[in-house]
Chain A
Amino acid sequence: MTPAIEPTQESVFTIREIAPKIFDMTIVSSTEEGSAALISKHAKAGQFVMIRGGEEAERIPLTIAQTEPEKRAVRLIFQVAGTSTHKLSLLKPGDPVLNLAGPLGKPSEIVEGKKVLVIGGGVGIAAILPIARELYHAGNEVTVVLGARTTALLILKDEFAQISHHLTLCTDDGSEGHKGFVTDAIKDLVAYRGVYDVGWAVGPTIMMKMCSEIAKQLDFPLWTSLNPIMVDGTGMCGGCRVLVGDEVFFACVDGPEFDGRLVDWDNLMLRQKQFKNEEADSYHHCRLEDQLNSR
């Protein structure tokens, strides 16, 4: 008898660069037992997967943007930020994906019948999509604020238009929507529409920190999705430890969402820089390899 189930066949179904360096990728399984198939059946908003594109690649966490159980498909949206994401971005439809495991982390606590605020910044816009979708279908009044450096990076606007009651767009350079940061837009919205029952913010760490300060002032809970460095994603290494309300938590199993009002943001930002030099080396090394290979 030959062993029946191997690391299953996961492959790229579609991959598209939807904005400079931002890729929208769908992975499908060849069988019902495949990782993408099982993840699509079990995942809830707010959860993530660990993915590894090739044999020597790092395991990296990516938030699940969408699942389609009928198609055994998981959709991931990521920005090229280093070696691992660069390698993922080079995959073509039909290419195998070496490892995909999940869904990991605790699901978002989806409320019902509330007035909620959803804030997405940069590639965090993709991560907040499933949360906004769930909140919308659970009968909440959903206000969405999306921000990016410039209009080309303001992704998924059309999808958000369908799952929100109010949609506000901001760009740092004023090329689309309000000129300025999401924080300015939030202050205006609150002044105009009153305070929210609960909010979610996913984006660059500095954005989540600023949004949390506003939430603290205005006294409403704000869930933020923390993205420290992770290795295994299952609570085994402790590399992703974060300080929340003076207590140490592991983002991978206790989070990734925490009330931003209690997070020690400065500590998180310092820990994210832990391997900065090495990552630059590795990315450099990997770009060199690309150049050599393409000759």
Chain B
Amino acid sequence: MLNRSKQKTKLTERSPEDRRKDFLEVNDGYTFTEAVSEADRCLQCRNAPCIQGCPVAIDIPGFIKAIQEKDLERSWEILYTTNQLPAICGRVCPQEKQCEERCTVGKIKDSEPVAIGRLERFTADWKRKAGFTPVTIEVTKPEKIAVVGSGPAGLTVASELAKNGYAVDLFEALHAPGGVLTYGIPEFRLPKEIVRAEIEGIRQLGVSLRTDLIVGKTIYFDEIRQKYRAVFLGIGAGAPKFMGVSGTNLNGIFSASEFLTRVNLMKAFRFPYADTPITIGKHVIVVGGGNVAMDAARSAMRLGAQTVTIVYRRTETELPARWEEYHHAIEEGIRFMWLSNPIAYLPGPDFRVTGARIQKMGLGDPDASGRRKPVPLPGVEETLDCDCVIEAIGQSAHRILSEGFKEVRLNRYGYIEVDPETLMTSVPGVFAGGDIVTGAATVIEAMGAGKTAAKGIMRYLTAIA
């Protein structure tokens, strides 16, 4: 029965006071009744504009209809045919800029779109709890394929190829698979248990995963190319950037990558039960305005900081972070300092940072990204006291790349150049996708690239056979 409510079915969230003390999720997702009620808001549009907004083209009306009919197994089957990481995507995709932005219900005056992301998460969580029966697929093709990097791009290529009967070896440099899903996005937004479970599903398809193996170091690129008929590089853009202002080398100043890696991958939030430490100050400044900045700020709060201030050079309107994350941050007591940019970090007697000089900014004309460009207001400065600074101003191409894969042509930003249709690089048989091609983007775009590359690889293998 159609639910004509203009609002998304409400989701009960934990109170911000509780949330800021631990690393548990903000909410537990929809209950069965809530999910069915929300699914009933979907109009089952024949043209399904939502699907066009999805980089992997999930049959959205299809899996929602199955929820309407209370057939969760069917909902899961529809979802899982196109998306191997649904519990992850349901949690971290920027749906408001993708499927939900196009949703017909959202176009009705004063109406919110169908909560597609929450429904995706609901079906995936239900299946994980109900018990996931692994599908095993026989290897039917003679060619072996190497996938380098186990982030969302690499995982998607691996699962697509395995589903088509290819033998795939997936290599990961770190001791745990998942890329940013594991070492970047914090536990309270994406529990690592879920990441592990969805990766396990991909391994069960027959993909063999090898961690602790750095292609270009542990095995040379040449050796990999000789051993495998095709190679996919999904190595991400994990190298941190620093603004390079004076005082960057003081103690207490971290890249968001180091901070989040310590907290997530090495579980520093459990220190001293886990051995990797993190010093979190009383007054923390986070520089930047993206998801990474929100994650760093909210993690710092959970680790016991008294104040956390996000310093961003533009205003709320230009903030690149997901709206939901921004709101969660505000609820949890994160402060925002708009139109501000640090120009120096100030040292204390013990070489620890004690404050930041902040340059105030104004907004000028729109830049290439269409957002208004921040310009310094001459002479307008202030000092903000702090004992910890986390810079979250973006990442760049992985450093090992330039050494390990010299033959592969890069563009002027240091990212890998590919044919947009097949994702093949300048080296025949070597493909690339995800953040290492586009620069820091999203999980679902990396997965979309994985799908395109898998098709490109299969076409290439058929052509040379």
Contact = CB atoms under 8 A, between A and B. Distances in A.
Interface of A: 1, 3-8, 33, 35, 38-39, 42, 52, 56-59, 83-84, 87, 98-104, 231-232, 234-239, 241, 243, 248, 250, 253, 267, 270-271, 273-275, 277-279, 281-282, 285-286
B217 interface: yes
Contact of B208 (A3, A42, A102, A237): A3
B266 A58 contact: yes
B113 to A, nearest CB: 36
Contacts of B137: 1
Contact of A99 (B206, B212, B219, B275): B212
Nearest to B238: A236
Interface string B244-266: 10001101101101100110011
11 contacts: A3-B209, A6-B209, A42-B217, A58-B266, A101-B175, A236-B257, A248-B248, A248-B249, A271-B251, A273-B351, A281-B277
B139 interface: yes
A278 B220 contact: no
B251 A7 contact: no
B305 interface: no
A98 B209 CA distance: 16
A274 B239 CA distance: 21
The main secondary structure of chain B at its interface with chain A is loop
- Taking each of B138, B174, B206, which has the highest tally of chain A beta carbons within 10 Å of its own beta carbon? B174
Nearest to A253: B399
Contacts of B248: 241, 248
- Most chain B beta-carbon neighbours within 10 Å: one of A6, A7, A100: A7
A281 B206 CA distance: 44
Chain B, interface size category, equals: 35 or more
Interface in B153-206: 169, 173-175, 183, 203, 206
A275 B279 contact: yes
Contact of B249 (A237, A271, A278, A285): A271
B257 A237 contact: yes
A274 B251 contact: yes
A78 to B, nearest CB: 15
A86 to B, nearest CB: 10
Given A99-B175, A102-B218, A273-B251, 16 more contacts: A1-B137, A1-B206, A3-B207, A4-B169, A5-B210, A35-B218, A42-B217, A84-B275, A100-B212, A104-B217, A234-B173, A238-B254, A243-B249, A248-B242, A270-B251, A278-B272
B19 to A, nearest CB: 25
Contacts of B265: 232
Interface in B264-314: 265-267, 270-279
A106 B212 CA distance: 18
A288 B439 CA distance: 46
Interface of B: 136-139, 169, 173-175, 183, 203, 206-214, 217-220, 238-240, 242, 244, 248-249, 251-252, 254-255, 257-258, 261-262, 265-267, 270-279, 351, 398-400, 403
Contact of A5 (B169, B270, B274): B169
A250 B238 CA distance: 14
Contact of B258 (A8, A58, A238): A238
B244 A38 contact: no
Please name the 5 residue pairs, one residue from A and one from B, whose CB atoms are nearest each other, closest first. Answer: A235-B399, A278-B277, A237-B258, A101-B212, A270-B351
Nearest to B262: A231
Contact of B279 (A35, A102, A238, A274): A274
Given A42-B219, A231-B262, A3 B400 contact: no
A282 B275 contact: yes
A131 B254 CA distance: 33
Contacts of A38: 213, 218-219
Given A38-B218, A42-B220, A231 B173 contact: no
A238 B396 CA distance: 12
A203 B262 CA distance: 27
B221 to A, nearest CB: 12
Contacts of B207: 3
- Which has the most chain B C-beta neighbours within 10 Å: A7, A231, A237, A273? A237
Given A42-B218, A84-B275, A59 B175 contact: yes
B209 A56 contact: no
Given A42-B219, A102-B217, A278-B277, A237 B261 contact: yes
Contact of B239 (A231, A235, A273, A275): A235
B277 to A, nearest CB: 4
A56 B267 contact: yes
B277 A282 contact: yes
A232 B255 CA distance: 13
Given A231-B266, A282-B275, A239 B258 contact: yes
Contacts of A98: 175
Contacts of B240: 236-238
Given A59-B266, A275-B279, A282-B272, A235 B400 contact: yes
